[in-house]
A and B are shown apart, each in its own frame.
Chain A
Amino acid sequence: MKKAGILFLLIITLALTYVLNHSMGKMPALGKFMDPFSGFWQNAEWEGQAPDLQTLDFPVNEDVSIYMDERKVAHIFASNDHDLYFAEGYMHARMRLFQMDFMVRVASGRLSEMLGPDALRIDRYFRRIGFGPSVKEAMMKLPEDRMAKDAIDAYTDGVNAYIRTLEYKDYPVEYKLLDAKPEKWSAEKSIYILHLMSYNLVGKDEDLEMTNALKFYGRKLFSEIYPDFPDSLDPIVPIGIPFPEDTFHLSPPPDYIPTDLIALNRSMQPNRYNGSNNWAVAPWKSKDGVALLANDPHLGLHLPAFWFEIQLHGPGQNVYGASLPGTPGVVIGFNEKIAWGVTNAGRDVKDWYKLRFTDKSRKEYIYDGAARPTRLEVEEIKIKGAPSFYDTVLYSHYGPVVYDRNYGYTRDSLRTGLALKWKALEPGGEIKAFLLLNRAGSYSDYKQAISHFEVPAQNFVFASKDDSIAIWQQGKFPLRWKEQGKFVMDGSDSRYEWAGTIPQEDNPHVVNPERGFVSSANQHPTDSTYPYYYNGYFEYFRNRRVNNMLYAADSHSISKETFQRMHNDNFSLYAEAILDLALPELEKESWGVRGSDLLNAFRYWDHYYGPDDHEPVYFEIFWKHFSNLLDEKSRTHHIRLPQPDKYVVILLAKKNPAHRLFDLDSTSKKEDLGDLFVMAFEKTIEEVESIESESGRTPTWAVFKNTTVAHWISALEAFSVSHIHIGGNYGIVNATAHDHGPSWRMIISLGNPTRAWTVIPGGQSGNPGSPDYSNQIDTWAEGRYYEARFLQEAPQGKSSSFKRIKFEAK
Chain B
Amino acid sequence: MKFIIKLFIISIGSYFLQLALPWYSIAIMPFLIGVFSSGRARAAFFAGFLGIFLLWGTLSLMIHYQSGGILSLKVAELFKVGSPALLILLTAFTGGVTGGLWGWSGYALRSLFVKRKRASGRYDIA
Contact = CB atoms under 8 A, between A and B. Distances in A.
B70 A35 contact: no
A34 B91 contact: yes
Contact of A46 (B27, B56, B70, B108): B70
Contacts of A3: 112
Contact of B67 (A5, A9, A13, A45): A45
Contacts of B18: 35, 37-38
A458 B72 CA distance: 42
A669 to B, nearest CB: 52
A12 B18 CA distance: 23
A718 to B, nearest CB: 4
A13 B101 contact: yes
B44 to A, nearest CB: 11
Interface string A25-51: 000001110111111111111100000
Contacts of A16: 97-98, 101
B94 A30 contact: yes
Contacts of B66: 44, 46
Contacts of A31: 23-24, 94-95, 98
B94 A10 contact: no
Given A17-B24, A46-B66, A716 B78 contact: yes
Interface in B30-83: 41, 56, 59-60, 63-64, 66-68, 70-72, 74-75, 77-78
B112 A6 contact: yes
Given A168-B22, A769-B70, A17 B94 contact: no
A134 interface: no
Contact of B22 (A1, A9, A32): A32
Contacts of A177: 78
B9 to A, nearest CB: 18
Given A17-B24, A37-B19, A37-B23, A44 B70 contact: yes
Interface in B95-126: 95, 97-98, 101-102, 104-105, 108-109, 111-112
A719 interface: yes
A14 B91 CA distance: 19
Contact of A40 (B68, B75, B109, B112): B75
A36 B63 contact: yes
A710 B66 CA distance: 26
Tell me whether chain B's interface is mostly helix, strand or loop, or mixed: helix
A202 interface: no
Contact of B59 (A9, A12, A36, A771): A36
A21 B91 CA distance: 14
A578 interface: no
Given A44-B63, A718-B75, A34 B94 contact: yes
A9 B101 CA distance: 8
A173 interface: yes
Contacts of A770: 70
B90 interface: yes
Contacts of A44: 63-64, 66-67, 70-72
Contact of B94 (A1, A20, A768): A20
Contacts of B78: 177, 716-719
Given A1-B108, A716-B78, A769-B70, A41 B60 contact: yes
Contacts of A32: 22-23
B95 A34 contact: yes
B59 A37 contact: yes
Contacts of B60: 34, 36, 41
B33 to A, nearest CB: 15
Nearest to A769: B71
Interface in A676-730: 716-719
A479 to B, nearest CB: 52
Most chain A CB within 10 A, of B64, B74, B105, is at B74
B105 A13 contact: yes
B101 A41 contact: no
Given A6-B108, A44-B67, A39 B101 contact: no
B12 to A, nearest CB: 14
Interface of A: 1, 3, 5-6, 9-10, 12-13, 16-17, 20-21, 30-32, 34-46, 168, 173, 177, 716-719, 768-771
Given A32-B23, A41-B60, 16 more contacts: A9-B101, A9-B104, A9-B105, A9-B108, A10-B105, A21-B23, A34-B60, A34-B90, A36-B91, A40-B75, A44-B67, A45-B70, A718-B74, A718-B78, A771-B68, A771-B70
Those 8 A-B pairs whose CB atoms lie nearest each other, nearest first = A769-B71, A35-B23, A44-B67, A718-B78, A36-B59, A718-B77, A13-B101, A44-B71
10 contacts: A6-B109, A9-B105, A17-B102, A20-B94, A31-B98, A41-B60, A43-B71, A44-B66, A177-B78, A719-B74
